[in-house]
Amino acid sequence: MSKQNIPRTELSELGEFGLIDQLTKNIKLKNKSTIKGVGDDTAVIEKNRNKYTLVTTDLLIEGVHFDLTYYPLKHLGYKAAIVNFSDIIAMNGKPEQIIIGISVSNRFSVEAIEEIYSGIYLACEKYNVDVVGGDTTSSVSGLFIAITVIGEVDKKDIIFRSTAKKGDLLCVTGDLGAAYMGLLLLEREKQVFKVDPKMQPDLTGNDYILEQQLKPEIRIDIIEKLKEHNIKPTSMIDISDGLASEIKHLCKDSNLGCNLYEDKIPIDITTASVAEEFKIDPTTAALNGGEDYELLFTINQNDYEKIKDMEGISIIGHMTDKSEGENLITRSGTSVQLKAQGWEAFKK
């Protein structure tokens, strides 16, 4: 919540081409599939004939997806990349190229934009992704980030949302609801700060949920572990809009129903305790919080023995016939219809 003491170069001093040069001068391409990066009309990519190309775009809009009073620009850049990598991972693929579209008002300095880029570059460095293009332009007000990520997957390895089978086990990675609790915490401290700017934010002990909100990671570790153990999920999706919403996607696209067990939903102790502070049911946070960027997938029951003790994976239910509906089996054993109040942009 403090302003960093960095020099300020106006965007008008550099101009569009100057800015692009400045932002892209240190790019080193790493992937064999990247033939040509920044500097021509398009990026040029080459795919082996055994591969599918995966492409995804996500928009991050100031005032809707992030609030710069508590969102450090570098983290924002990092997250903007990660949320797209997560979509590639959810197809069982590997992100390889990124195209960065940024629109900013002159409220932002060159240094501020460099901060955003440094976050994107950090994520690319970590996950071995090449920056191959972009568009940088001014806006009348606000910051808009449009990221496109291109990935690849061996044809035999691709996993869709629509291929779960009746009887399959429903699994989730990590724990859920943390990013949402992190957001509520930051929002609360923002309000406190508004009333008394001298007040220092009280975020002690909540590193985990703050990190889940501000610097999420993708579960490429789980993808690798599943491959090592020769387990291919029968369907997969990433959890960006909340567990309930994503389970409903899997059910709808696979034409199935499901039973989800409340007591099996993985929730971190910090998430649970902050939820209690906010008088929110932790299950609700896990079901509808969103922004977890964990993986939701189904496996054949024959893989149960292989997966049951695997760290970082929880079995939370199973797929049923469509006629049985989508059900949440509560801690008390009651079956209730699963409802998604997931993050829906226009209903906020």
Instruction: Tell which positions 194-223 bind a copy of itself, by CB under 8 A.
Output: none
Nearer to a copy of itself, 151 or 282 (CB): 151
Please choose, out of 7-15, 74-82, 220-228, 280-288, the segment that lies near a copy of itself by the rule CB under 8 A.
Answer: 7-15
Binding string, 135-174, against a copy of itself, x = CB under 8 A? xxxxxxxx-x-x-x-xx---x--x-xxx------------
Among 112, 120, 184, 237, binds a copy of itself (CB under 8 A): 237
DSSP string across 194-231: HH-TTSPP--TT-HHHHHHHHS----HHHHHHHHHTT-
Using CB under 8 A as the binding rule, the residues of this chain from 319 to 348 that contact a copy of itself are 344-348
190 lies in the site for a copy of itself, by CB under 8 A:
no
Residues in the chain: 348
Neighbours of 194 (CB within 10 A): 10
Q: 112 to each of 84, 117, 119, how far by Cα in Å?
A: 22, 9, 11
For 3, residues 6+ apart whose C-beta sits below 8 A from its C-beta are: none
For the CB of residue 274, give the shortest distance to a copy of itself in the complex, in Å: 27
The torsion of the CA quartet 233, 235, 236, 239, rounded to 10 degrees, works out to: -130
15 lies in the site for a copy of itself, by CB under 8 A:
yes
Please choose, out of 14-22, 170-178, 196-204, 262-270, the segment that lies near a copy of itself by the rule CB under 8 A.
Answer: 14-22
Query: Radius of gyration (Cα) for the chain, nearest Å?
Result: 21
Binding string, 69-108, against a copy of itself, x = CB under 8 A? ------------------xx-xx-x---x-x-x-x--x--
Binding string, 30-59, against a copy of itself, x = CB under 8 A? -----xx--xxxxxxxxxxx--xxxxxxxx
27 lies in the site for a copy of itself, by CB under 8 A:
no
112: helix, coil or strand?
Answer: helix
C-alpha span between 346 and 152 (Å, rounded): 32
165: helix, coil or strand?
Answer: coil
For the CB of residue 347, give the shortest distance to a copy of itself in the complex, in Å: 5
Nearer to a copy of itself, 206 or 298 (CB): 298
C-alpha span between 241 and 337 (Å, rounded): 18
